[in-house]
Amino acid sequence: MNDTTIHDDVRRDFREAMSRLPAGVNVITTDGVQGRWGITASAVCSVTDAPPTMLVCINRGSRAHDIMCGNGRVAINLLPSTCQQVAAAFAGMTSASGDTRFDDARWHDGMTGVPVLADANVSLEGRIIDSKPVGSHSVLFVEIDHIALLAAADGLIYFGRTFHRLAHPLAAQAG
């Protein structure tokens, strides 16, 4: 077995392992001089609350990468379970493409001019303050300057290569 075969095996196993990691589903949107665009992303997490900063991992070979970096501003829309079709559209799982992916949901311009999903559980708007290349992706660091906390709904996660509803705990529903 040569190094290439070992690397390919590890890469294949890594992808399978990551399919077993439940992750929140987000639609990352942008608008500006490079145009309006959005993608579905699960490689998203908080970094710090001082100042509030998130990270978003985006494939450097994707069209979204250059558009988002060129615009310099994004909204991170945390999806409820009712937005599975929105997630699928922005993930390229439907026939919708480009700007038409925005057609099947209610959007408005956020405080910073980026598209914000009206039905998101939370929308975090911010400025890309840094970008670090790692393998095939860039890790974008987004300093948050506006947060819309909407009515809490069940969450949407991606696990086992499919979407799943993440319900509120029964104790929380009773109280």
Q: In this structure, what CATH number is given to the domain that contains residue 137?
A: 2.30.110.10
Residue 119 lies in a domain: yes
Residue 69 lies in a domain: yes
pLDDT of the chain, 175 residues: tens digit per residue: 566 777 888 999 989 898 888 899 999 999 999 999 999 999 999 999 999 999 999 999 999 999 999 999 999 999 999 999 999 999 999 888 888 899 989 999 999 999 999 999 999 999 999 999 999 999 999 999 999 998 778 999 998 999 999 987 766 555 5
Q: How far, CA to CA in Å, does 10 sit from each of 5, 6, 18, 101?
A: 9, 6, 12, 34
Q: Which domain holds residue 110?
A: 24-168
Q: How far, CA to CA in Å, does 5 sit from each of 11, 14, 110, 170?
A: 10, 14, 47, 48
**What is d(CA 3, CA 43) in angstroms, rounded to the nearest whole number?**
28
Residue 109 lies in a domain: yes
Give pTM, 2 decimals: 0.91
**Count of domains for the chain:** 1
Residue 4 lies in a domain: no
**What is d(CA 44, CA 39) in angstroms, rounded to the nearest whole number?**
12
